[in-house]
Amino acid sequence: MSSVPQAKKQKLDQPKVIGTHNGTFHCDEALAVFLLRQTATYRDSGKGDILCGSTSIKPDPAVLETCDIVVDVGAVYDESKQLFDHHQRGFTEVFGHGFETKLSSAGLVFKHFGKEVIVNKTQLPVDDAKVTTLWLKMYKEFIEAIDGIDNGISQYPSDIKPKYKSRTDLSSRVGALNPVWNQPSSPEILDAQFAKASALTGEEFLGKLGFYANAWLPARDLLVASIESSKQIDPTGKIIVLEQFLPWKEHLFDLEAESAMPESDKAIYVVYADDGGSWRVQAVPVSSESFDSRKALPEVWRGLRDDTLSAASGIEGCVFVHASGFIGGNKTKEGAMQLAKAALAM
């Protein structure tokens, strides 16, 4: 028989209450509420008659004290008390790990609960290093922009005038779910619209997390394995051979940065099979988004094709070398490796 008093047991069995402000809602608290509902502690919040959402709990301190967690209201950030506001004077919290954007309620919740959400959605072990990798990647590619927009942080220097406007970002779409000035508005309408906003942010968050967990991360693992196996073909490490195409650029630069690899040890060419059964030699760019290469394919090969290129290079089976020298092709893996090795020596 349980020794827990009945009243206490009933309290423990009740779903947790998430509190946020009433009135107009924004992307950050909509996402923060969704993220909390992906955790073991707060997954049942909002069921039955539990007060939660954007309007059910007014920003009255006495009311907020009845909540188990409060986001985006209350003028206090205190993780130990489960208070996560960012509007108060003197708040300067950032995500850390090299990120400098001031956090919104979305960033605050993701900083403290994001790893648990990732574990729950990917089924990775809690202590798996991939959890931290995904946590940092999701902040960089998804959460940080929401923090910046909500805090009014410009994406570009103020003296640069954008040539066009974009109103299709997630924060804009959440904002558009608020009733406009000449539409009916009530606590019930706002609550219903907030629920749509939270679901919208959650759908996009989970979609992005699914991509990074199931496509982006496996590509990183394959690249790491390919770098090691390529040393048997080219001990210098200047040529990486991929047995199948995969998005390698971003991962390569991340791996080099993480290992503080000196310039002299960095890869120069990547050899991989293309969709048509031929093989490509691609020069590694100077950065993941640059058109300039660390060492472009030789100028004397550029713009040549087929037999003309084979004659110029002395390598059979050549297909082409781009006019800029950033990429070339051969009919076989062996021929592509010969092109890469010859280019390194020239």
pLDDT at position 64: 85
The two structure tokens encoding residue 185:
């508005």
Residue entry with tokens 């080099």: 256
The one-character DSSP state at 72 is S
Chain length of the chain: 346
Q: How confident is the model at residue 59 (pLDDT cuts 50, 70, 90)?
A: low
Tell me: pLDDT of 109 over 60: yes
Tell me: pLDDT of 272 over 60: yes
Do residues 72 and 28 touch, judged by C-beta distance below 8 A? yes
Q: Rounded CA gap, 175 and 61, in Å?
A: 26
Residue entry with tokens 């390569």: 252
Q: Rounded CA gap, 174 and 196, in Å?
A: 9
The two structure tokens encoding residue 45:
């919040």
pLDDT at position 4: 35
Tell me: pLDDT of 12 over 70: no
Among the residue ranges 147-151, 154-158, 235-239, 320-324, the one predicted with the least confidence is 154-158
> For the packed helices 105-122 and 27-36, what is the interaxial angle rounded to 10 degrees?
40
Does 271 or 56 have the greater pLDDT score? Answer: 271
Tell me: pLDDT of 49 over 60: no
pTM for this entry: 0.87
Dihedral Cα 307, 313, 316, 321, nearest 10 deg: -70
Do residues 283 and 252 touch, judged by C-beta distance below 8 A? no
* Average pLDDT, integer, range 255-277: 94
Tell me: pLDDT of 161 over 90: no
Q: How confident is the model at residue 66 (pLDDT cuts 50, 70, 90)?
A: confident
Tell me: pLDDT of 56 over 60: no
* Domain spans in the chain, listed from the N-terminal domain onward: 6-216, 231-345
Contacts of residue 221, defined as CB under 8 A and 6 or more positions apart, other chains included, come to none
The two structure tokens encoding residue 197:
């906003």
* Average pLDDT, integer, range 266-294: 94
pLDDT at position 297: 98
Q: How confident is the model at residue 210 (pLDDT cuts 50, 70, 90)?
A: very high
pLDDT at position 61: 80
Q: Rounded mean pLDDT of the chain?
A: 91
pLDDT at position 13: 65
Do residues 173 and 136 touch, judged by C-beta distance below 8 A? no
Q: Rounded CA gap, 265 and 238, in Å?
A: 7
Tell me: pLDDT of 43 over 80: yes
Does 139 or 5 have the greater pLDDT score? Answer: 139
Tell me: pLDDT of 11 over 90: no
Q: How confident is the model at residue 52 (pLDDT cuts 50, 70, 90)?
A: very low
Do residues 83 and 74 touch, judged by C-beta distance below 8 A? yes
Report CA 80 to chain centroid distance, whole Å.
27
